Every structure is written in structure tokens, then in C-alpha cells.
Amino acid sequence: MVGVKRDTLPKQRPWKRPGQRPGQRPWQRRKLKKGSAASVIIVILLALLALVMIYPIYNQLVIALTGPEYIAAADGTTLIPRGFTLSTFRAVLAVPKVYRGLLNSIYITAAGLVVNIVLTSLGAYVLIKKDLLGRRIFMTLIIITMIFEGGLIPDYFLMRNLNLLNRYASVILYKAVNPYYLIILMRFFSRVPKSLIEAARIDGYDEVRILFKIVVPVSIAGIATISLFYGVFHWNEYFRAMIYLTSEVKWPLQVVMRELIVSMEKAAFIGALNFITSAGAAAIEFKALKAALIIIAIVPILLFYPFVLKYFVTGKLQGSIKE
Amino acid sequence: MKDRKVWKKRLYKDRFLYMMLAPVLAFFFIWHYIPMWGARIAFQDIRYIGDNVWVGFKHFRLLFSSPVFTRVFFNTIIISAMKIGFFFPLPILLAFMINEVRSRPFRKALQSVIYIPHFLSWVVISGIFISLLSSPGGAVNQVILFFGGKPVPFMTSSSHIRWVFVASEIWRSIGWDSILYIAAINSIALELYDAATVDGASRFQQALRITLPSIMPTVITVFILNLGFFMNAGFDQVFNMMNDAVINHVDIIDTYVYRIGLQKGNFSLGTAAGLFKGVIGLFLILSTDRISRKISGEGVW
């Protein structure tokens, strides 16, 4: 095993700016004077913006946690859940469609992520080799797919012809390599020092092992970033799942949720057959049911969010994150 | 002869790399290039027995003579233009404001909060907005009532629904889109500000004379990129927020393709509409790329 340590990478200091004095960080300098009217106004405006971002989500949480005797009065301005209860969540998770949807979503996201990461890493590793014969042609062919596509109906026909309709594979493999994320990963991979790769080659590593044992581990920030993007993509995908997966038992959570939100009908959502088994959910008011579902769909994203947040805040991805 | 030998040698030397690349290229071929070829049904009548019949531009003529498609086309343009016009400057403004924040913890907390909506699906966002804008219980209408106004049924009002699109787009993307500008501001040389301070420039003048011109290339690049994707008025957003009361005002090309093509089974017509949009999009992207090269010497790609 070649000794790979994180500190073999060139030091990157995203906040280091030209003309900066030692030990000084940009946010320590050249701000408005503390306490000046303008700076107070800006802070207030920004705090208001943060409130606008968070409040609608918080409000859904409040409604989902409000007890049945108070739910009728709960509205957009309710700040604290009266008659606090977790029974709404319990009832929602007991609806077969919902827990199956949750499992389907987890399965599709996990399987999809594995395919995404393996394929994108393979592609990124090969395509950063400048002297590879045909590299420009391959890149051009990939970039063309970013600006022109066959469209929804030819996509659907492709699935039908591959006999993938109503199979999980249709949504797992959909957009298996996203060209934007491929390019992001290529940038990370090209920062891996050549000497490290050469050392591994001398040790007798083949290309596949160099990629997965050296390049991927030292580019973990890049892998984490595209994992978040791909993961969010799979978790949030509803449209392709809705048209490709024809049987309801295979629906991911987003499709189930869409049905409730768009149809606005509780009975159709729970399903006539399930009315007895899901008696708990049937008794719950529509808005609480919907709010609980929304929160259930958001929580997994918020769980993974902090791990990658630091890369966004420090601006390491500068210039590479326009979707 | 010699060239070919060198060629073969290089191919052989990199054989493992090509083997690694093969599945990736296969994916792009199957998932992207086969559907491009499949889009030829826009020029065909589909036959379930025997081969499809080539009919040229018949479906396109049908499309352009249809009042529904005309409406859908203009809806796409109007919604897209509204989004660019009212959304585009906001992340820039936000980046300027964030740049003025002294307190580092506040700055970090703020940044982590404002990126969150970008990661939510449009199904979730429309669920949240339907609730937020509901009448009269939603938070927005409660505020309107508090100030003595009359509640507005935003989601089902044809004069408001497009503004709901703009507002929800702002909610979702203002934070995320500001990242690029924050990064651009962070890379401006501090000497510039030093010199300006010596010259007695106020903070506001510095923002106007130094920061703004310095990030202009980024602003221009993002703007023309937006123009390039002008024909995507936001399928997921429209699809999840539309309802029968407002459909005539919000129906865009992408929702039309789905309805006509997949739901009503008019595959050729739907593909023709999608292809029409795709060709306009391609034209827009290629021309904005050319403009970008002229202005900044750098292409979009």
C-alpha cells in the first residue's frame, strides 16, 4: 500500500486573497464599520431573509406535530405545536404506500449512487489524461448531450424497448452520468499530484487500483460533493419514476407525496382498500398528513447536508456549480 | 504507415483506460444518443403493424396551426422572461450584502440556512407553497389580513400564479445562486480596496466602482447561460404547481409535451413539440456561447 495521506495534497486556502497580510482573513477586514446604520440594516435584512427561508419549513413541522384537538385552528401563523404529538408521523408511516415509498426511495437512491459514483469516477479519471487518443472527441460527444436531448417521448420509448418499464433499473440508471458532475469531478481529480500516481504505478498498481485506492480517497471532497448532488437528485426524482414505474408498489416517496399534494384527496391517497388498516391516517386531518409527509421527505436531506456544507461555504467549488 | 503504428501503440498502451471509459461511453450512447435518433418519430406517423410512415413536417404544421401550442409557446417565453427579469439581479445583491457581514458565525449560519431550499424537490416546495399561500389560513394571507387586506387565493388566481413561480424560484435559488458571486467577490485583490480607501472612497463607492466591475465577467457568464436555457421555463415547478383554474396561464411546452405525448398518446405530435423546443434551445445556447466568446474571450463551455 502506498502511503496516502491527506496532507500530500497541495495546500488549498480558498480564502487566501492576493494582498492579504499574514494571519489575516478576508472577513476580518474591510467591512462596514461596526454599528454603522448601513451594516445594521444589512444584518437585519439578511436575518429576515434567513427567516423567510426557514419559516415555511418550520411551519410544516409545527402543523405535523400539532395534536388532533388543536389541528383545526393551526394555520400559517402557528408558532408552537399545541397538544404536541408524534401520532401523525406514526400514522403516516403506517400507511403502506408511505413506508413502501420510503424504502423504495432509499433503495433507488443507494443503488443509483453506487452506479453514479463508479461510472463518474471511471469517466473522470480517464478523461483527465491529456494525451489519451480521442479524448477531445469523447469530451465533445459528452458535452453535446448537455445541450441537446431527444426528449421525453423518445426516452420513454427507449425504456420500453429495453424492457425496463416498471423496473427499478429504469430510474436507477436514469442520468447515471451527469456531464456537469463529471466535469466537477475531473477538476478534483486533476489536482491529485502526478508524483502520487507515478509512485503507485512503480509499486505495480494497475489503473483501476490507482483510481479507487489513490485518486478517489485523496479526492474525497469531490466525491462527497457529487454524492450530495447525485443523492439529492435521486431522492427528489419523481417525474421519471412516475412515468416509468407503472405499479404503485414501486413508487418512491416523492411520487406518493405528489399524489397527495396534487390530488388533495385523503381517501384516494390512503386507498379504499387500506382504509381499515390505515385507520389512524384516515382520522387525521389532511393538512397534518401532508405536513408530516413533507417533513419526512426533507429530513434525510438535512441529515446529509452538514457533511458537505463546508465545501460550499468556503467556496471551494467556485465556478463549477452552475447547474 | 509509421503513423498508424504509433497510433496502434498508443491505443495498446492505454488499453486499460479505454476499457474503463467504455461503460461511460456506452451509457451516453444508449441513454442520450439512441433517444436523439428516436426523436425522428416527429417526422413519422406511427404504425403498430409494419414500419412507421415518413410524413415530413406534417406534425410541425399541425403544431404551428394549433392555438393551444401558440399559447403554450408564449407562456414559456413569458414565464422564463419574468423569472430572469425579476430573479437574476437578486443573488448578486445578496452576495454584496453577505460580503459586508462582519461576524463570522452569523455569516456561516446565514449561508447554511439559505442554501437549504435548493436541495428540496419541487414536489416538496409546491406542497410548502400551497400551504403558505392558502386562503385564508396560509401565512401570507394571515399577514394580508393582519394589515386589513383581503385574502388572495394565489394558487388558483390566474393573475397571481406566474408571480408565485417567480417567488418560489427566488425562495429556492437566491442563496444557491449567490455562491458563484460570493466566490467572485472573494477573489478580488485587496490592494484595490486599499488604494480606494487611501483615495477616500466610501464603502458604497467601493462596492460600485471596484466590486461590481470586478465580478462583471461572472455576471455576464451566468446571464448568457440563463439565456441559453431560456426555453426551459421550469417543468418541475409548473407541473407541480399548476391546477385546472390556471392551466391556460401556466401551461408551457414541456407540460404540453407530457400531456399530448404521453397522456393522450399522440407520440409524434409530442415529440415534434419537444424537438421544436430543443432546436430553439440549441440555437440559443450556441449563439450565447458565441457572444460570450466575443465579450469575455471565453466560451460558456
Closest chain B residue to A61 measured between Cα atoms? B128
Residue of A nearest to B124 (CA): A294
Provide the domain limits for residue A179: 96-266+309-313
Q: Which residues of B touch A211 (CB under 8 A)?
A: 20
pLDDT for A14: 46
Q: For residue B10, tell me if it sits in a domain.
A: yes
Average pLDDT, chain A: 83
B20 and B75 together in one domain: no
Q: Which of B40, B56, B72 is the last residue of a domain?
A: B56
Find cell 409545527 and name the residue. Answer: A62
* Secondary structure in 3-state letters for A17-70: CCCCCCCCCHHHCCCCCCCCHHHHHHHHHHHHHHHHHHHHHHHHHHHHHCCCCC
The last residue of one of the domains, among B15, B40, B56, is B56
Residue A111's pLDDT band (boundaries 50, 70, 90)? very high
Say which residue, A268 or B205, is predicted with more confidence.
Answer: B205
What gap in Å lies between CA A291 and CA A294, rounded to an integer? 5
Burial class (CB in 10 A: 0-12, 13-18, 19+), B237: buried
Asked if B186 and B39 sit in the same domain, the reply is: no
> Domain for residue B23, yes or no?
yes
Residue A122 and residue B20: Cβ atoms within 8 Å?
A: yes
Would you state the pLDDT for residue A319? 40
Task: Say which of A20, A142, A291 has its CB closest to residue B190.
Answer: A20
The DSSP symbol for B262 reads I
Q: Are residues B42 and B69 in the same domain?
A: no
What is the spatial distance between Cα B19 and Cα B14, in angstroms, rounded to a whole number? 9
- CB distance A146 to B299 below 8 Å: no
pLDDT at A277: 55
Nearest to B139 among A76, A143, A155 (CB): A76
A290:B127 CB<8 A = yes
The helix (H) or strand (E) run that includes residue A308 is: helix A286-313
Contact B178, B98 (CB under 8 A): yes
DSSP3 helix / strand / coil % (chain B, rounded to 5): 75, 0, 20
Q: Closest to A43 (Cβ–Cβ): which among B21, B41, B101?
A: B101
Instruction: Judge: A53–B113 Cβ closer than 8 Å, yes or no.
Output: yes
Report ipTM (2 d.p.).
0.89
- B8, B24, B28: which to substitute to probe chain A, counting the most A Cβ within 10 Å? B24
The pLDDT, as a whole number, for residue A15 is: 47
A39-49 tens-digit pLDDT:
899 999 999 99
- For residues B141 and B152, is the Cβ–Cβ distance under 8 A? yes
Euclidean distance between the first and the last CA atom of chain B, given in angstroms as a whole number? 36
Q: Is B301 inside a domain boundary?
A: no
Position B239 scores a pLDDT of 94
**Chain B residues with beta carbon closer than 8 angstroms to that of A236:** 119-124
- Pair (B23, B47) in one structural domain: yes
**What amino acid occupies position B289?**
D
Identify whether A49 is part of a domain: no
In contact, A225 and A311? CB cutoff 8 Å: yes
- The answer to whether residue B276 sits within a structural domain is yes
Within 8 A of B36 by CB-CB distance, chain A residues are 148-150, 154
Mutate to test the interface with B, among A27, A153, A285 (most CBs of B within 10 A): A153
**Within-domain flag for B169:** yes
Domain termination site, one of B56, B72, B96: B56
Q: How confident is the model at residue B172 (pLDDT cuts 50, 70, 90)?
A: very high
Q: Is residue A239 part of a domain?
A: yes
State the CATH number of the domain containing residue A142.
1.10.3720.10
Judged by CB atoms closer than 8 Å, whether chains meet at B41 and A75 is answered as no
B209: domain CATH number is 1.10.3720.10
Helix (H), strand (E) at residue B228: helix B212-228
Q: Which residues of B touch A254 (CB under 8 A)?
A: 121, 123-124
In terms of domains, do B152 and B6 share one?
no
pLDDT(A24) > 60: no
d(CA B258, CA B271): 9
What is each CA distance from B178 to A2, A319, B35, B74, B119, in whole angstroms?
A: 41, 12, 35, 29, 15
Please give the tally of structural domains in chain B: 2
Q: What range defines the domain where residue B280 resides?
A: 58-296
Which run of H or E residues covers position A319? Answer: none
Q: Are residues B47 and B186 in the same domain?
A: no
Distance, in Å, from the CA atom of A57 to the CA atom of A62, rounded to the nearest integer, reads 9
Which residues from chain A sit within 8 angstroms of residue B108, using beta carbons? Answer: 313
pLDDT band at B299 (very low <50, low <70, confident <90, very high): low
pLDDT band at A3; cut points 50, 70, 90 = very low
Residue B294 predicted with pLDDT over 60:
yes
B45-99: per-residue pLDDT in tens?
Answer: 988 887 888 998 999 999 999 999 999 999 999 999 999 999 999 999 999 999 8
The reply to whether residue A158 touches residue B128, judged by beta carbons under 8 angstroms, is no
Contacts of residue B225 in chain A, CB cutoff 8 Å?
322
Q: From the CB of residue A14, how many other CB atoms can be counted at a distance below 10 Å?
A: 15
Q: Using CA atoms, how far apart are residues A196 and A205, in angstroms rounded to an integer?
A: 12
Determine what percent of chain A is predicted with pLDDT higher than 70: 79
Option in B14, B18, B39 nearest A150 (CB): B39
Of residues A75 and A140, more confidence is placed in A140
A76 to B137: CB separation less than 8 angstroms, yes or no: yes
Q: Is residue A16 part of a domain?
A: no
Q: Are residues B39 and B105 in the same domain?
A: no
Shortest Cα–Cα distance, B121 to chain A (Å):
5
DSSP E strand boundaries for chain B: 44-45, 53-54
CB-CB under 8 Å, A257 with B113: no
Cell of B15: 488499453
Rounded to an integer, what distance in angstroms lies between the CA atom of residue A17 and that of residue B81? 37
Q: Which amino acid is at B55?
A: V
| Segment B287-291 mean pLDDT | 85
pLDDT of residue A312: 66
Separation between Cα atoms, residue A223 and residue A117, nearest integer Å: 7
Q: How far apart are CA B144 and CA B146, in angstroms?
A: 5
How far is the alpha carbon of B71 from chain A, nearest alpha carbon, in Å?
Answer: 21
Residue A18: which of B176, B189, B281 has the nearest Cβ? B189
- Assess if residue A153 is contained within a domain: yes
Chain B positions in Cβ-Cβ contact with residue A146 (cut-off 8 Å): 301
Segment A112-165, tens digit of pLDDT = 999 999 999 999 999 999 889 999 999 999 999 988 888 999 999 999 999 999
Amino acid at A34: K
Instruction: Indicate whether A19 belongs to any domain.
Output: no
Taking CB atoms and an 8 Å cut-off, how many pairs form between chains A and B?
288
CA B113 – CA B202 distance, rounded (Å) = 30
CA distance A294 to A290: 6
Task: Provide the number of structural domains found in chain A.
Answer: 1
